[in-house]
């Protein structure tokens, strides 16, 4: 009888080990299972290696909304002999543009104020100012008229896209309020953001949660402009270092995102998500998945 009890005990112990092992395996599988996202398209990669870790319609062309402004900033930062402290006078055309376009988000630039290129980059990327985008396009495009300079700047955006191998990307605006030919893909936007993050100024701007900037008024005085980043990942997801939100009637809710944990950086994009909350949740899911790989 003692022998039988001993054999039974061994069998029970072995069974317990097998059961525990099964639970552990299923728990690991649950943490590494490919996530389900609300967005129509999604992509995440290891920024150091470029290895794709998640794809959903990653090469499908979709409207980009204000994630377009990543390219606006990238074109500006690549200008030869760029002076970030050069001052730009805010023109009435920039504020009129905001009034004329219902979906235009604003940095609330004031006509006649003198703002630096660096400040315009903050106004572009934090509150997603279409007026700041217009000012930068006007400043860094070439031509004798504002229309010609803007057209030239958009041309630079497309030339840059080609040079970076973004074969499914095209811009017809400096801010994402396009005319039917402003599109990219989750993979292309991620590659663009990864490249833009090589610029220290870009990295500094997009990781900033809020800023207060002193600008010169038309009369030579000064005022402070306060801008808050529209990227809800900042402060809500540990390690977040950027990048840019976007939205619009066609684009729905978009987010290009990046975070660093334990020396590893994940970078990715969700396009055409269903709400502000869901684009943030989608991004968190993809980064969690990326960091678990």
Q: Which of 63, 105, 128, 173 is catalytic?
A: 128
Beta bridge partners of 269: 43, 256
Roughly how many angstroms between the first and final C-alpha of the chain, as a whole number? Answer: 51
Helix (H/G/I), strand (E/B), else coil: 46: strand
Q: Which of 66, 106, 184, 247 is catalytic?
A: 66
**Do strands 52-56 and 41-46 pair parallel, antiparallel, or not at all (unpaired)?**
antiparallel
Buried-state track 241-278, b at ≥16 Cβ within 10 A, e below 16: bbbbbbbbeebbbbbbbbbbeeeebbbbbbbbbeeeeb
> Would you list the DSSP string of 110-149?
-TT-EEEHHHHHHHHHSS--HHHHHHHHHHHS-SSSHHHH
Structure tokens at 26: 């299923």
Q: Which of 56, 63, 69, 194 is catalytic?
A: 69
Count CB neighbours of 229 within 10 A. 23
| Angstrom distance (rounded) from CA 133 to CA 124 | 6
128 labelled catalytic? yes
69 labelled catalytic? yes
Instruction: Determine if the peptide bond prior to 243 is cis (ω within 30°).
Output: yes
CB 214 within 8 A of CB 227: no
Residue 246 to residues 116, 167, 279, 293, Cα–Cα distance (Å): 24, 21, 10, 28
284 labelled catalytic? no
Catalytically active residues, by annotation: 66, 69, 128
């Amino acid at each position: 009888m003692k022998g039988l009890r001993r054999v039974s005990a061994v069998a029970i112990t072995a069974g317990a080990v097998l059961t525990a092992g099964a639970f552990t395996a299923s728990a690991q599988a649950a943490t590494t299972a490919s996530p389900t996202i609300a967005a129509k398209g999604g992509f995440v990669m290891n920024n150091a290696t470029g290895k794709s870790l998640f794809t959903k319609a990653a090469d499908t062309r979709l409207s980009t909304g204000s994630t377009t402004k990543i390219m606006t900033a990238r074109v500006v930062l690549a200008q030869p002999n760029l002076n970030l402290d050069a001052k730009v006078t805010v023109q009435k055309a920039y504020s009129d543009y905001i009034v004329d376009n219902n979906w235009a988000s604003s940095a609330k630039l004031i006509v006649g104020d003198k703002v630096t290129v660096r400040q315009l980059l903050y106004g572009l990327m934090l509150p997603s100012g279409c007026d700041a985008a217009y000012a930068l396009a006007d400043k860094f495009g070439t031509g004798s008229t504002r229309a010609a300079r803007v057209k030239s700047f958009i041309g630079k955006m497309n030339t840059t896209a080609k040079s970076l191998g973004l074969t499914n990307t095209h811009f017809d605006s400096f801010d994402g309020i396009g005319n039917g030919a402003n599109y990219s893909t989750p993979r292309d936007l991620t590659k663009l953001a990864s490249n833009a993050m090589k610029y220290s100024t870009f990295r500094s701007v997009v990781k900033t949660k809020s800023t207060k900037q002193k600008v010169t008024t038309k009369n030579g005085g000064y005022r402070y402009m306060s801008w808050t980043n529209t990227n809800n990942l900042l402060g809500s997801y540990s390690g977040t270092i950027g990048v840019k939100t976007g939205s619009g009637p066609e684009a729905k809710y978009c987010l290009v995102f990046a975070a660093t944990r334990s020396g590893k950086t994940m970078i990715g994009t969700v396009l055409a998500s269903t709400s502000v909350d869901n684009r943030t949740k989608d991004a968190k899911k993809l980064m969690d998945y990326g960091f678990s790989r």
